[in-house]
Structure 1
């Protein structure tokens, strides 16, 4: 644990797919660290995430103005660059973990704040374990972030609320369009959203039901049955003249094959997904003959800072700040959490979870959140989702466009020999 006589620098990195509010967490980390200069020296950021630590490509955030750091709160994407680089087991890739400790030692870093999802939680936990074994203790604190909302223990994850808001609003607006054209034209609109194993994002599309929109939601948690699905779509078109389908990219058949599987893998070894919407839309056209349009939200859903949830922005900043406070209190190998106290009014507190119980654990949609027929969300789910999409936190605008921060990202001089990744 760092003390007043052992002032240490901090290292912060962003991991995996970015979000509309991950920079708000960075803002919370940096602003809170600056408020405790008696305990924390400089905050260094990893250029392109953990790769920046491995290659000693560090960014000196102390050379950014207070106004620029504050502007991160309303700027989407990863201000320091992120990456999909997974540090594997200590047994097979010990060299990389030891390199991290060497870099931390060389730059007098005593705090490690890793902002990401499940894989980064695992890395953070392993770093905390190895650092003590190597005689150079690092207080490793994980800052939760994932649009998939699949980290355990915490009620929700920063990034999810804004994606949920984007999906719900986009599905509603597109549905109004389809409804206006249904008499002579399009009768089915299919929207594909992110969510490999958990259907939280797709669930947000189900909120349009409260606006009188006939909607079918396809979750990864529910095995896809083409016959039942087509029957439901046909019935809704006959009743309402049109229907909106929200499909998770992780929707799969009973044998486990994804509707959207492309036959390739990403950097984490996961099946590369993308294309569930056209599969579903063409299935409807070929079987039922209904004219359709489809869209894939893709990066738009996670980059849409202009329609970010105010609740989500607040969560993101607070959890970044909480990570620093936990470190200053002497915590290690933990993650700050959102602990919900009530739905209406929405109340919560900041809690803490041990990384040993977070790493490599996925949180799926409870069955009680999914309708019995598997094609929509329950009132219980709506009560969970609605507080998370509440409020608007618009960025400043100039000339009709949002004003987003671009950092100088000035480098920290290297002190160690070069290091090759993957060796």
Structure 2
């Protein structure tokens, strides 16, 4: 029987370390040339498979693939495209199988978050149903850290490190100006339903009273009057107040403090605007001079300050996906399991995709302080190891040097175009 080729693709919002997972997949596959043919990367995620736009990674040098380990963003292009149910759009699945069959693809490695796990599961189920079984394995990735059954999600440790460092440095700036100028600084970070990223800002504090003074989490209902009073108390006690707010901060009834009427391709409401909304509240109540910042793409693309732990885990889950596939595994997500020991350690595990897809892991209440504005010692113990270590990219003339792919496309074998 001829060796089967593999399909790898990236999905959803990218991270500082998702390409490390890509390097892990490609390098592991190259070490098993007797069992796996070529690795084709989808141009822009699953859309690349539907449109038969496949990148031949065998055309990339070993040094270029190795450089992916220190390169941010999605090297092969990502997408926000969610496959519909089989009954809703059979044409999508028929097209996928047509493309996979034409290119002798028997392995499917999808690198993304919860919605991507759903896509991976559907591919696994439908490929078996349609007589061309694909070994589909999900590779975890999300800065939100909200995937279940894995201790943490690759991509989170680096964004957590960036937010903690940014909070610390910005706080020092505000403190130096507080006597005669700015009294309040607000940093808005990602986090739709889970406040892991905002919570990580607490790692900036080294002793009691250090900023951030207030952390707003989606898990804790926002109370306007209590918040306004807490800001006043902080300014009175410290001379200034530093706030880190999740974009998904919401009232008790679930209404968001800020958000757009528009939705992305996954059907999620587009968020943003929490920081200026909070600033307006504070200005109206107290008249304090303020500044606010939006971490936005900066927080998830900051490879120059990535967590070494995160890089190593991202690479490891990519390699593990290939190794598990070669052992006959399918319909699983590779997971990271924390060792039960005084010193932080981790191993690789797995979880069934039917239990992972479309499930969000939120901050446990035991990680959140009693007043809801900070984290507990237990929360800190969980978060702190994930930002440990530095893994700087190589620099030239003061600028990080990142991989540049040739992106040689595989010749199409199907004449019929497909529109998504």
Query: Residue 335 of structure 1 aligns with which residue?
Result: 333
* Alignment equivalent of 1:48, drawn from 40, 44, 47: 44
State the SS of the aligned residue for 1:362: coil
Whether 2:21 is the aligned partner of 1:31: answer no
Q: Which moved more, 1:202-211 or 1:285-294?
A: 202-211
Query: Residue 319 of structure 2 aligns with which residue?
Result: 321
Deviations 1:115-153 (A, max 9, x none): 000011001001111111111110000000000000000
CA contact (8 A) 1:338 1:348 kept: yes
Relative to structure 1, the CA distance from residue 344 to residue 193 in structure 2 (aligned partners, 3 Å threshold; closer, same or farther) is: farther
State the SS of the aligned residue for 1:337: strand
CA contact (8 A) 1:343 1:383 kept: no
Query: Residue 226 of structure 2 aligns with which residue?
Result: 228
Whether 2:13 is the aligned partner of 1:7: answer no
State the SS of the aligned residue for 2:88: helix
* Alignment equivalent of 2:280, drawn from 282, 305, 308: 282
CA shift for structure 1 position 101: 1.1
CA contact (8 A) 1:55 1:418 kept: no
Query: Residue 387 of structure 2 aligns with which residue?
Result: 389
- The aligned length equals 418
Whether 2:127 is the aligned partner of 1:127: answer no
Deviations 1:365-396 (A, max 9, x none): 00111111111111111000100000000000
Q: Residues of 2 paired with 1:143 and 1:131: CA distance?
A: 19
Query: Residue 372 of structure 1 aligns with which residue?
Result: 370
CA shift for structure 1 position 343: 6.4
CA contact (8 A) 2:201 2:212 kept: no
Deviations 1:73-92 (A, max 9, x none): 00000000001111121221
State the SS of the aligned residue for 2:89: helix
Correspondence 1:103-182 to 2 at 5 A: 103-182=99-178
Structure 2: tracts of 5 or more residues without a match:
none
CA contact (8 A) 2:181 2:289 kept: yes
Correspondence 1:394-413 to 2 at 5 A: 394-413=392-411
State the SS of the aligned residue for 2:414: coil
Structure 1: tracts of 5 or more residues without a match:
none
Deviations 1:55-102 (A, max 9, x none): 000000000000000000000000000011111212212211221111
Query: Residue 309 of structure 1 aligns with which residue?
Result: 307
TM-score (norm: length of structure 2): 0.98
Query: Residue 254 of structure 1 aligns with which residue?
Result: 252
